[in-house]
């Protein structure tokens, strides 16, 4: 229907409007206002209860900084829906329809209230009539249609498509456990969808009934197509024999039904899923872009370390708990859960939310003993669950509402470490690191032993000035397989004419994984020792082959006074190739896939440099389905490389290796991390893929690509893989 010629010009403009309470008695109108005020009162009380809950958490001073900048970033994320549409475009578009439809309807309701109860009554100024009213009607009709369309897709998704991430299955509880069943969440989800559907649908029916009721008024009926959906329904009602009198009765009943549902919806916002509209926005506004890359320091004056009680959580983390929409993206992305470990990041957050609601929404706080979030009781988080985490940040990175799962888990681990509740082998490893400065328990004098077989002398950066200081790391220094790679990188540095040196026995474990285990005291000792030594050394920038060391030196050492220019070796070698400083002799031609290390890729967004190297050496790169920021963890992070997995349990590295094996004709599985090399070579054998393709460090491939004189000790050509 063309409505361009149907305007308010043919009528007195003030006639083209909608009288809000037409046909209602004064007592009825009074009752509605009383009900509305009551709903607002219930809403306000619910908001106060939630605010009181957050106030019972500990302070978070960092969240009070850069508020305007944070607000602009939050607004951009909310309006663009970037985080919601990632890796699930259909859900993203459906949520856009719901969000913008609901927002426009809310704005419309606010405008009506503003005009009817404020500007008209107090100032005698009316604006809800004429052409403004007609365009208003059209926009709101389309907004209502968008809302219903989005809601219907979400219903189909939950009721028929049923993606596994929405099943709420708990890997951390056994069936039959008191808090295993989370059917209440499914009920809440459906109640939310049906409530909005009813509000929107009854709104359209109410509009249609009004049109039929007032069909004898030309200023109403002749302009009905400015509300196209309402008009179409009105035509249908008339076609079914509904007259003006019946429509008036229908309109009266629908008016109250629609109004009561809307008021109840408003009243219950702070107590239902609907509050995520506000909590998710708040969580996005307070998001820390380095939430997992840079963990928080321990307050030296704090009475205890980490999160032991629900009141130990910062108010921001309590807000994070309420921001969770149960979308399951973290659940789906978690490598520990995929490997069968008793961990789902979503369930950790929901357990803590349930605990916080039960303990902190009360008028008075429960006894101290009832605030402990560790244990086996209902709502508590199991120790096994926390130690299953690889701190790979897959959950934090994909969360559409900026929930900080990893920092919360690490804070809870800190409490477990303080109380000695950890695997005996992990305890032993931490003691070993404290004693020797490395996780292998080797003498500090053996750290540079790998360099003895090189045909050239590496400078001691503690004694001589160098351009580049190479922070080698534990696995690159002590693991026999990785030592070959370390020697290879030394040869590359020499071939490129780089003036470099190492710290020899002065270097200690960088502490990245020690910190993510939760041993903050040992981490600070390691960091301070390394920073003190670096402060006495003379260099311009740091390079490392270890993404774990790269992350903590880049992102966390500045908090302890150690701010340096640091690169991962892939970035430095890519620079050499671009500038012609390093020349390659022959293309390799291998069909290759590349695993993005968590600490290099997802943590620090270094995706392009490794791929540029693979292209430069003439290999065909086939990315795995999960790559770049969606890369699947090898399972070594968060100290898990020091903790044995249960016998018979699948490992994340096995999962990843099977993903690579699905690539037809794959010859080389390339890595750029010492721990990855260890984990994936083991996984290659364990999954029965040995002989089908090989695991190689990029350094080995680069050396193979160079002239023999520049790579005289490089690994032999991959004849088996190329066959």
The pLDDT of residue 281 is: 97
Per the domain annotation, does 495 fall within a domain? Answer: yes
Rounded CA-CA distance 273/278 in Å is 10
- Residue of 627, 603, 651, 643 lying closest to 393 (CA atoms): 603
State pLDDT tens for residues 434-447. Answer: 999 999 999 999 99
Longest CA pairwise span in the chain (Å): 101
Locate 657 and state its tokens.
Answer: 């290796």
Q: What distance in Å separates the CA atoms of residue 707 and residue 220, rounded to the nearest whole number?
A: 85
DSSP 507-537: -----HHHHHHT-HHHHHHHHHHHHHHHHHS
565, 663: one domain: no
DSSP state of 566: E
pLDDT for 304 equals: 85
pLDDT of the residue at 717: 45
Give a three-class secondary structure readout of 358-385: HHHCCCCCCCHHHHECECCCCCCECHHH
pLDDT tens-digit readout, 619-638: 999 999 999 999 999 999 99
- Decide if 626 contacts 602 (C-beta within 8 A): no
Three-state secondary-structure class, residue 546: coil
pLDDT of 715? 47
pLDDT band at 121 (very low <50, low <70, confident <90, very high): confident
Report helix angle 480-495 to 698-705, nearest 10: 50
- Residue-level pLDDT at 707: 66
pLDDT in tens, 301-319: 888 899 999 999 999 999 9
pLDDT for the residue 8: 61
pLDDT digits (tens, 9 = 90+) for 356-383: 999 999 999 999 889 999 999 988 999 9
Same domain, 483 and 356: no
CATH of the domain at 589: 3.40.50
Q: What is the pLDDT of residue 709?
A: 47
Lowest mean pLDDT among 152-156, 220-224, 448-452, 625-629: 220-224
Structural domains of the chain, count: 4
What is the helix, strand, coil percentage profile of the chain, to 5? Answer: 60, 5, 35
Q: Is there a contact between 442 and 436 (Cβ–Cβ < 8 Å)?
A: yes
> Do 228 and 333 belong together in one domain?
no
Sheet holding 500-502, edge to edge: 459-460, 500-502, 468-471, 541-544, 566-568
Q: Say if residue 258 is in the same domain as residue 303.
A: no
pLDDT value of residue 267: 96
Q: What is the CATH number of the domain that holds 355?
A: 1.10.1060
Residue 348, φ and ψ in degrees, nearest 5 = -60, -45
**Residue 427 within a domain:** no
| The pLDDT of residue 147 is above 80 | yes
Least confident of 25-39, 112-126, 213-227: 112-126
The last residue of one of the domains, among 545, 574, 603, is 574
Helices (H), 580-661: 608-616, 652-661
146 shares a domain with 76: yes
SS3 74: helix
Q: What is the pLDDT of residues 523-580, one digit of tens each?
A: 999 999 999 999 999 999 999 999 999 999 999 999 999 999 999 999 999 999 999 9
- The confidence band for 5, taking pLDDT boundaries of 50, 70 and 90, is low
Q: Which residue has the tokens 């026995």?
A: 505
For residues 405 and 447, state if they share a domain.
Answer: no
CA distance 85 to 71: 20
> What does the block give as tokens for 494?
């020499």
Show which of 371, 389, 418 is a domain's final residue.
Answer: 418
| 8 Å CB contact between 281 and 325 | no
Estimate the crossing angle of helix 405-418 against helix 345-360, to 10 degrees. 70
Residues 266 and 403 both lie in one domain: no
- Angle at 307 (CA atoms; ends 302, 310), nearest 5 degrees: 110
Alpha-carbon distance of 582 to 710, in angstroms, equals: 10
Rounded to two decimals, the pTM is: 0.93
**Of 386, 418, 450, which residue is a domain's last?**
418
- pLDDT in the model for residue 698: 98
Q: Are 133 and 271 found together in one domain? A: yes
Of the listed ranges 8-17, 422-431, 506-515, the least confidently predicted one is 8-17
Residue 486 in domain: yes
561 with 592, same domain: the answer is no
* Phi/psi at 114 (5° precision): -60, -45
Q: Which helix (H) or strand (E) holds 593?
A: strand 591-594
- 289 domain-assigned: no
Mean pLDDT of 39-45: 97
At CA 675, angle to CA 674 and CA 681, rounded to 5?
A: 95
Residues 132 and 234 in one domain: yes
Is the same domain home to 394 and 439? no
Residue 692 lies in a domain: yes
| Residue ranges making up the domain that contains 445 | 435-574
The confidence score (pLDDT) of residue 117 equals 86
Within this chain, do residues 329 and 444 fall inside the same structural domain, yes or no?
no
Note whether 297 and 407 are within 8 A (CB).
no
Confidence band, pLDDT 50/70/90 cuts, at residue 123: confident
Residue 287 located in a structural domain: no
Q: Which two tokens stand for residue 652?
A: 């994340």
Report the mean per-residue pLDDT for the chain.
93
Question: What is the reported pLDDT for 645?
Answer: 87
Q: Quote the CA–CA distance of 206 and 262 in Å, as a whole number.
A: 13
Contacts of residue 465, Cβ cutoff 8 Å, sequence gap at least 6? 538, 539
701-723 pLDDT tens trace: 999 998 664 444 444 445 444 44
The dihedral sign for the CA sequence 446, 447, 453, 459 = negative
């Amino acid at each position: 229907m063309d409505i361009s010629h149907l305007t308010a010009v043919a009528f007195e403009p003030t006639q083209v409007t909608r009288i809000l309470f037409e046909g209602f008695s004064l007592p009825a109108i009074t009752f509605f206002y009383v009900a509305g005020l009551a709903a607002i009162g219930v809403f306000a009380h619910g908001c106060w209860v939630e605010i009181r809950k957050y106030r019972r958490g500990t302070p978070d001073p960092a969240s009070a900084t850069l508020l305007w900048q944070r607000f602009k970033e939050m607004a951009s994320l909310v309006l663009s829906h970037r985080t919601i549409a990632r890796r699930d475009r259909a859900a993203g578009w459906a949520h856009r329809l719901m969000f913008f439809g609901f927002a426009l309807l809310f704005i419309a309701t606010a405008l009506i209230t503003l005009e009817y109860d404020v500007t008209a009554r107090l100032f005698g100024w009316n604006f809800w009539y004429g052409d403004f009213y007609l365009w208003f009607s059209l926009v709101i009709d389309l907004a209502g249609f968008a809302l219903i369309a989005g809601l219907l897709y979400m219903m189909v998704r939950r009721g028929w498509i049923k993606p596994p991430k929405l099943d709420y299955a708990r890997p951390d509880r056994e069936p039959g456990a008191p808090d295993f069943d989370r059917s209440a969440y499914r009920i809440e989800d459906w109640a939310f969808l049906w409530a909005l559907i009813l509000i929107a649908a009854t709104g359209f029916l109410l509009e249609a009934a009004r049109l039929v009721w007032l069909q004898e008024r030309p200023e109403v009926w002749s302009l009905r197509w400015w509300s196209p959906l309402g008009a179409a329904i009105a035509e249908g009602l008339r076609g079914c024999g509904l007259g003006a009198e019946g429509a008036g009765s229908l309109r009266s009943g629908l008016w109250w039904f629609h109004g009561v549902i809307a008021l109840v919806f408003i009243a219950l916002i702070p107590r239902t899923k609907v509050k995520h509209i506000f909590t998710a926005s708040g969580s996005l506004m307070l998001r820390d872009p380095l939430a997992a890359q840079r963990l928080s320091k321990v307050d030296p004056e704090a009475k205890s370390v980490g999160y032991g009680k629900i009141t130990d959580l910062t108010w921001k983390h309590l807000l994070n708990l309420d921001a969770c929409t149960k979308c399951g993206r973290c659940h789906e992305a978690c490598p520990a859960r995929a490997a069968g470990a008793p961990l789902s990041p979503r369930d950790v957050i929901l357990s803590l939310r349930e605990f916080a609601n039960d303990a902190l929404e009360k008028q008075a706080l429960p006894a101290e003993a009832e605030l402990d979030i560790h244990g086996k009781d209902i709502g508590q988080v199991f120790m096994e669950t926390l130690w299953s985490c690889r701190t790979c940040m897959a959950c934090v990175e994909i969360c559409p509402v900026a929930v900080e799962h990893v920092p919360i888990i690490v804070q809870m681990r800190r409490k477990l470490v303080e109380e000695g509740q950890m695997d005996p082998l992990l305890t032993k490893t931490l003691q070993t690191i404290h004693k020797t400065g490395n996780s292998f328990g080797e003498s500090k004098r053996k750290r540079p032993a790998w360099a003895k077989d090189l045909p050239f002398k590496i400078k001691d950066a503690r004694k001589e000035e160098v351009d580049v200081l190479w922070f080698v790391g534990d696995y690159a220094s002590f693991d026999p397989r990785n030592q070959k790679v370390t020697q290879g990188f030394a040869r590359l540095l020499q071939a490129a004419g780089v003036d470099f040196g190492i710290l020899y026995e002065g270097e200690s474990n960088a502490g990245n994984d020690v910190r993510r285990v939760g041993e903050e005291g040992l981490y600070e000792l390691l960091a301070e020792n390394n920073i003190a030594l670096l402060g006495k050394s003379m260099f311009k920038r740091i390079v490392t082959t270890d993404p774990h060391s790269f992350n903590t030196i880049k992102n966390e050492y500045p908090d302890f006074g150690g701010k340096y220019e640091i690169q991962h070796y892939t970035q430095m070698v890519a620079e050499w190739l671009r500038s012609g400083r390093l020349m390659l002799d022959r293309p390799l031609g291998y069909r290759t896939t590349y695993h993005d290390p968590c600490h290099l890729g997802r943590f620090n967004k270094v995706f392009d440099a490794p791929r540029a190297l693979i292209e430069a050496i003439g290999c065909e790169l086939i990315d795995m389905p999960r790559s770049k920021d969606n890369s699947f963890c090898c399972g070594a992070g968060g100290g898990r490389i020091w903790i044995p997995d249960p016998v018979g349990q699948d490992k994340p590295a096995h999962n990843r290796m099977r993903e690579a094996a699905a690539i037809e004709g794959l010859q080389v599985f390339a890595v750029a991390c010492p721990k990855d090399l260890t984990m994936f070579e083991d996984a290659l054998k364990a999954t029965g893929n040995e002989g089908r393709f090989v695991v190689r460090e990029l350094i080995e491939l680069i050396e193979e690509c160079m002239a023999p004189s520049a790579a005289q000790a490089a690994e032999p050509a991959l004849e088996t893989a190329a066959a």
